[in-house]
Structure 1
Amino acid sequence: MQKVLFRHCDPAGIVFYPRYFEMINDCVEAFFADHLAWPFEAVHGEGAVPTAEISATFRRVSRHGDRLVLSLNHGAPGRTSLGLAFAATCGEELRFTARSTIVNVDAAGKPTPWPAHVRERLTRDSGDFA
């Protein structure tokens, strides 16, 4: 759950859209730590998982104080990439959806295969993470 804070909002009192991308990244970071048991501290000690592509559709505005629930769904991993889908709701109302592709890269920035334990979890447990 992500409470919409003052820092997320523009002068009109609604979430400034780039802040949603920060929330998405927070969701990905939690997914890596909580689901994949490969926290960003470890990931970034060896390489990184940059976003290669991202798109979003904004359905309704979110305002200061709203509580958003972000969910993450993933498909089967590619050799070095992974497709992610996100949905953010407030109560029963859909606020935005997004899709992204992340790529596992080594310290030099070259795409590299997923570690075996990560690939196994991604393959076994493709689906929702909230």
Structure 2
Amino acid sequence: MLFERKKLIRFHHCDPAGIVFYPQYLVLCNELVEDWFDEGLGVNFFKLHSEMHHGVPMRHLEADFLAPSVHGDELTFTLGVDRLGGSSMRLAISAEKDGKVRFKALQTVVWADLEGTPRAVQIDDEWRERFSRYLIAQKD
């Protein structure tokens, strides 16, 4: 299963040429992860941090900028769990319009305990089950 959300490209996402300024794609990805927790996993992203004392800080990021997007475009962002490890997971994110992929990223995030000094911890069974619903079938 993939998590999917439409995102409108707004004026503040664009550079003076009217195309998405590439760091804004990372902001949109972070919004997508927050939406995924809120709507896909059923846990408010703010409460995850403030009350449950967990978070998903970035460990590694790979991004490909494949085609320009412009002000007013509505992009379909998708998120799937590409790999689920012991204390981390790799998220596959893409943004497309009219069947053409404009941006894609692989981002590895760490399942972190934020109580005291933040540190990576093992993903427990409850969270592993939630994340597993979004596992992408691996190709051989």
Asked if Structure 1 and Structure 2 have the same fold, meaning a TM-score greater than 0.5 normalized by the shorter chain, the answer is yes
One-letter identity of the residue aligned with 2:27: E
SS of 1:75 mapped into structure 2: strand
Q: Return 41-50 or 18-27, whichever deviates more.
A: 41-50
| % identical equivalent positions | 35
Assess if the C-alpha contact under 8 Å between 2:81 and 2:132 holds in 1: no
Specify the alignment match of 2:3 in structure 1. none
One-letter identity of the residue aligned with 2:127: V
Structure 1: gaps spanning 5 or more residues? none
One-letter identity of the residue aligned with 1:19: Q
Distance in 1 of aligned mates of 2:134 and 2:104: 21
CA deviations on 1:77-100 (whole Å, 9 max, x unpaired) are 211101111111011221011100
Assess if the C-alpha contact under 8 Å between 2:83 and 2:91 holds in 1: no
Assess if the C-alpha contact under 8 Å between 2:54 and 2:113 holds in 1: yes
Distance in 1 of aligned mates of 2:134 and 2:33: 15
| Aligned equivalent of 1:110, options 119, 124, 137 | 119
CA RMSD of aligned residues (A): 1.6
Assess if the C-alpha contact under 8 Å between 1:86 and 1:99 holds in 2: yes
CA deviations on 1:57-86 (whole Å, 9 max, x unpaired) are 111100000000000111342111011111
TM-score by length of 1: 0.90
Structure 2: gaps spanning 5 or more residues? 1-5
CA deviations on 1:74-129 (whole Å, 9 max, x unpaired) are 1342111011111110112210111000001112211012243221122344139x
Distance in 1 of aligned mates of 2:47 and 2:124: 12
1:1-16 to structure 2, matched below 5 A, reads: 1-16=6-21
Q: Indicate how the Cα distance of structure 1 residues 101 and 22 shifts in structure 2: closer, same or farther if over 3 A, else same.
A: same
Assess if the C-alpha contact under 8 Å between 2:18 and 2:71 holds in 1: yes
Specify the alignment match of 1:23 in structure 2. 28
What is the number of residues matched between the two proteins?
Answer: 128
Distance in 2 of aligned mates of 1:22 and 1:74: 19
